A and B are shown apart, each in its own frame.
Chain A
Amino acid sequence: MNDIWQGLAQALRLVLGLDADLIEISGLSLQVSLGATLIASVIGLPLGAWLAINRFRARRVVIAVLNALMGLPPVVVGLFVYVLLSRSGPFGVLGLLFTPTAMVIAQVIIITPIIASIAHQAIRDLWADYHDLLISLNTSRAQRIRTLLWDGRRALMTASLAGFGRAIGEVGAIMIVGGNIDHVTRVLTTAIALETGKGEFGLALALGFVLISLAVLVNLAVHFLSRTERSGRW
């Protein structure tokens, strides 16, 4: 219990003192996870919508695979990306291993299934509501998807935020592909893992509090921004 109070106090000291290292690794955390969320949303949201409105033979299989991928252990994803990006791997020439880009790639793989799956459920319900109307209005497939994405935007935002939450707290994959290199690929979660390993519980806890605060702040910011767009009853 004492450790926790000390951790909180240290967190406050670091934040208020604008600790340079803290700002750097927090910044990189946000940058990597927000980048991954953005890319995963661009892929996952339309994919979810597309799965919701199209009937094709392999649909059930794709959805089952998507749900299974949601539970993918991050370490395995990390290992997989590591092998692909390592010097002897197929993408070795790109020299991406141990860079923030590699961390973004790993996180995109981890959270795209989550975002797509939540989006799929939300859009499927909306599609059930809108189906007859959109057919009656003679909409093209692209128009249907665009309409459902737009009218379902609140639920989709939640999907993206769930993805972001998973990304910002993720450690297994980025540890492997990023390497936790100081001033290069060190982020909050990997720093916490490192400090805990060294027995520096106070610092580890302090970083933990910063991590939680950042996650909450991002969620609040997104909700606030969407609230300012005049909200109706939906």
Chain B
Amino acid sequence: MVGSILPLALEDITLRRAGKVILGPLSWVLDGAGITVVMGPNGSGKTSFLRAMHGLERVNAGRIAWAAPLEAVRARQAFVFQTPILMRRSVVDCIAYPLRLDGVARKTARARAAEAAAKVGLGAMLEQPAQVLSGGEKQKLALARALVRGPELLFLDEPCANLDGRATREIEAILRDAREGGTRIVMSTHDHGQARRLADDILFLYNGRLVETGPKAVLLETPTTPEMTAFINGELLP
């Protein structure tokens, strides 16, 4: 067993797409425990930022340095996409899939998947095709699948967009559990309430730049930049 894959150091990373800079240059260190919430208006680069850390986007400049070899890094993190990607399988088989990849026997994998499904409230629909679930159920399924390997680091891209209060509450409870269990979480949202409820730290992106970052209490109460102040006050940013 290798030590922690964290800290993760981003050094002046820049993403250029279609001829323009969509993220960066940006430097940040991801370390410690808890939940970091990435905030910012639409198009500010939240998705790109999370995907770049997870290795789904190639950076055009800068460095991404992990504390462990890449193989361990890839195997010990998970990602929940803004729109869930579900396989054409039953709920239980969707959740069992990452375990099957690790070579866990079918029976064991399905038993563990059933447990994970029960934890997110999908215990009664194990054999349903994943594609017929409601939006909230799909998000929970994606979350259960992301957690089933017990990742050290979990990225979530707006996991509660389009969900009602109850589904949001359930997902937030699962995330708190995961945090208690020692999973380091980085998630994006533009729901201020969610940031207040869940965040330990907040990171604010605007136009692809990291504008402010720090502990929730400090940042939400006493923002220092005009962009963050306006965003928190609910003003519509240009």
Contact = CB atoms under 8 A, between A and B. Distances in A.
Interface of A: 129-130, 132-133, 135-139, 143, 147, 151, 232-234
21 contacts: A130-B85, A130-B87, A132-B56, A132-B81, A132-B85, A133-B81, A133-B87, A136-B78, A136-B79, A137-B97, A137-B98, A137-B101, A138-B74, A138-B101, A139-B101, A151-B89, A232-B129, A232-B131, A233-B129, A233-B131, A234-B131
Contact of A129 (B85, B89, B98, B129): B85
B85 A232 contact: no
Nearest to B94: A133
A127 to B, nearest CB: 12
Contact of A232 (B55, B81, B101, B132): B132
A234 B101 contact: no
Contacts of B78: 136-137
Q: How many interface residues does chain B have, given as a range? A: 20 to 34
B97 to A, nearest CB: 7
Given A132-B81, A136-B79, A234-B129, 20 more contacts: A129-B85, A130-B85, A130-B87, A132-B56, A132-B85, A133-B85, A135-B55, A135-B56, A136-B81, A137-B78, A137-B97, A138-B101, A139-B101, A143-B101, A151-B87, A151-B89, A232-B90, A232-B128, A233-B129, A234-B88
Contacts of B88: 151, 232, 234
A60 to B, nearest CB: 22
B54 interface: yes
B105 to A, nearest CB: 16
B118 interface: no
A136 B50 CA distance: 12
A170 B54 CA distance: 52
A7 B74 CA distance: 66
